[in-house]
Amino acid sequence: MQSFRAPLASPLFRQTPSFPFMHASEQNQVFAIIDQHATRAHEASAAWAHSSPTVRSGVLRALADALDARANELAVMADEETGLGIPRLTGEIARTSFQLRGFADEVVAGVPYVQVDDEAIPGPPPSGRPRLTRVMVPIGPVAVFAASNFPFAFSVLGGDTASALAAGCPVIVKPHGGHPRLSIEVAKIAAEVLRAQGVEEGVFSMLDCDMSRDANIHLVKHPLIAGVAFTGSYQGGVALWRAANEREIPIPFFGELGSINPVVVLPAALHDDPVAPAKVLAASMLQGCGQFCTSPGVIVVVDDQRGREFVSALGDSLAGQATHRMLSEGIRNGFEDAVARIKANANIEVVLEGNEAGAGPAPRLFQTTGAAFIADASLHEEMFGPAAVVVMVPSVDAIPDVLSAVKGSLTVTIWGGDQDNHENREIVRVAQNIGGRVLFSGVPTGVAVTRAQQHGGPWPASTDPKTTSVGYAALQRFLRPVALQDAPEWLLQRA
């Protein structure tokens, strides 16, 4: 366990002593810090829940403006900690401020304040009824677990924080250890904005202390925490999801846990040219050194001449490509371990195992048969990095069974499915069963922030497939419907 970082001067951060190791007494002090954050968030909850659209949207827009004003400096700081590159990080800051402003627009439009009113009808039921007004109530303080691979868009002021604040919920951020200096700086910016806006302390705070597994669970189980948003590993997410459900009063846990994002390459997509699609897919696999939650991990191809040419071209497109360093040594080690397990599988053929040409790992490409993939669950596991498994099937009819073996996925991509026929309809049906987003062109690496977006999928992609962590519907996660029956007018106006 690393030593604690120095405390921030802002009152939004609890002062934390510096210890070289986490002993029992030190852990108790971390628990006490969490308790302080949760108490302050709880105390601020009622006022923020009833904040006006003008106040709430003003805070979100001010946060976006503050990020943009420091974009160049923050991108450099993020690159030093993550190695993701200035162009990528500059674009991510723009996305983060864009979605903050987008949630502000949703607030002004009245989305978190929507009411559905059924007027009373005299007479006995079932035709008669009282007046019923359905309103949306913020659930309360939300713990946000930041991600490693998007140090802005899924971090301190990322989509989970923005959507929770837009819904009227205070936020406590547990930052990711992969970019601590950046997290502290962004939290300072947020603290300054909230003070300037006159927002009550407790609406936003960040835990600026080292968090053990037990401390993370203490946060999730804290009785004043009303919900959790998590983006990270399957193992860590499942542990916290279980903790949320083991509470005396369980709370919603919105977790994104990992995905292998199958890409189905139908013969129609390769009819004219198998090389160009291979280059497009290779670029998607390499983007961010394969550290996107939507990175293609399984590629399903019909085993015919064009299909084999496509796989060969994909290997050629990946060969010799330089990758940047991965986010952490732990992630790099996890990637190499996953690759080694796949390579050791008796049903796997190595298509590409190149030499490292950059600071990151060499791209890897493996191949297996549809029957072997379906039978072996170990081939369905995510390799978080620039690698994928090609599944060769004897015909298009075999593709639905391969997709069904995948279980839940954030995305499924289908190239060449433009014709309305029985085979394509069946592939699309299964794709919709297992995926949160089904693409018919382009690549899955790239998630637009819109009202129609769905970034979530059946288990194990996410813990609640009915919700999304990207797009403006994300704020619905943190609202709970309440029906008011024959409510007085003062209450309806206040709601």
Q: Tell me how far apart the alpha carbons of residues 495 and 489 are, in angstroms, rounded to a whole number.
A: 10
Q: Tell me how far apart the alpha carbons of residues 78 and 56 are, in angstroms, rounded to a whole number.
A: 28
Q: What is the per-residue pLDDT across 208-245, written as a single tens digit (0 to 9) for each?
A: 877 899 999 999 999 999 999 999 999 999 999 999 99
Q: Pick from 24-33, 291-300, 348-357 the range whose average pLDDT is largest.
A: 291-300
CATH 3.10.290.20 is held by the domain 24-257+462-494:
no
Q: What is the per-residue pLDDT across 465-478, written as a single tens digit (0 to 9) for each?
A: 999 999 999 999 99
The length of the chain is 495
Q: Could you write out the three-class secondary structure of 222-261?
A: CCCCCEEEEECCHHHHHHHHHHHHHCCCCCCEEEECCCCC
Does the active-site annotation cover 81?
no
- pLDDT recorded at residue 24: 61
Find, among 45, 54, 90, 102, the residue nearest to 226 by Cα.
45
Phi-psi region of 168 (alpha: psi -120 to 50; beta: other; left: phi over 0): left
The contacts of residue 293 (CB under 8 Å, 6+ apart) are 149, 231, 256, 258, 259, 410
Decide if pLDDT at 7 tops 70: no
Residue 419 three-state SS: coil
Decide if pLDDT at 12 tops 60: no
Among the listed residues 26, 256, 289, 382, the single catalytic one is: 256
Q: Tell me how far apart the alpha carbons of residues 413 and 196 are, in angstroms, rounded to a whole number.
A: 45
The contacts of residue 134 (CB under 8 Å, 6+ apart) are 115, 116, 117, 481, 482, 483, 484
What's the Cα-to-Cα distance from 229 to each of 235, 330, 335, 477, rounded to whole Å?
15, 23, 25, 9
CA atoms lying within 13 Å on the CB side of residue 153: 21
- pLDDT recorded at residue 234: 92
Q: Tell me how far apart the alpha carbons of residues 39 and 49 are, in angstroms, rounded to a whole number.
A: 16
- pLDDT recorded at residue 16: 32
What's the Cα-to-Cα distance from 42 to each of 53, 164, 194, 207, rounded to whole Å?
20, 14, 17, 15
Q: What is the per-residue pLDDT across 375-399, written as a single tens digit (0 to 9) for each?
A: 999 999 999 999 999 999 999 999 9
User: Please, which pLDDT band fits residue 1 given cuts at 50, 70 and 90?
Assistant: very low
Decide if pLDDT at 299 tops 70: yes
Q: What is the per-residue pLDDT across 56-68, written as a single tens digit (0 to 9) for each?
A: 999 999 999 999 9
What's the Cα-to-Cα distance from 14 to each of 140, 175, 401, rounded to whole Å?
20, 14, 53
- The CATH T-level fold of domain 263-439 is Aldehyde Dehydrogenase; Chain A, domain 2 (3.40.309)
Does the active-site annotation cover 293?
yes
What's the Cα-to-Cα distance from 367 to each of 207, 271, 336, 377, rounded to whole Å?
44, 22, 17, 15
Q: What is the per-residue pLDDT across 144-159, written as a single tens digit (0 to 9) for each?
A: 999 999 999 999 999 9
Find, among 301, 417, 284, 433, the residue nearest to 363 by Cα.
284
Domains 24-257+462-494 and 263-439 agree in fold: no
> Is there a contact between 397 and 372 (Cβ–Cβ < 8 Å)?
no
- pLDDT recorded at residue 23: 55
H/E stretch holding 68? helix 53-69
Please name the residue that has the structure tokens 């190499």. Answer: 336
Residue 145 three-state SS: strand
User: Please, which pLDDT band fits residue 19 given cuts at 50, 70 and 90?
Assistant: very low
> Is there a contact between 416 and 405 (Cβ–Cβ < 8 Å)?
no
DSSP secondary-structure letter at 461? T
Q: Where are the domains of the chain?
A: 24-257+462-494, 263-439
Residue type, 184: I
Decide if pLDDT at 197 tops 60: yes
Percent of the chain with pLDDT over 70: 95
Q: What is the per-residue pLDDT across 416-446, written as a single tens digit (0 to 9) for each?
A: 999 999 999 999 999 999 999 999 999 999 9
Decide if pLDDT at 20 tops 70: no
Among the listed residues 169, 209, 289, 293, the single catalytic one is: 293
Q: Which two tokens stand for residue 346?
A: 């008796």
> What is the sign, positive or negative, of the torsion defined by CA atoms of 401, 302, 279, 387?
positive
Q: Tell me how far apart the alpha carbons of residues 479 and 136 are, in angstroms, rounded to a whole number.
A: 6
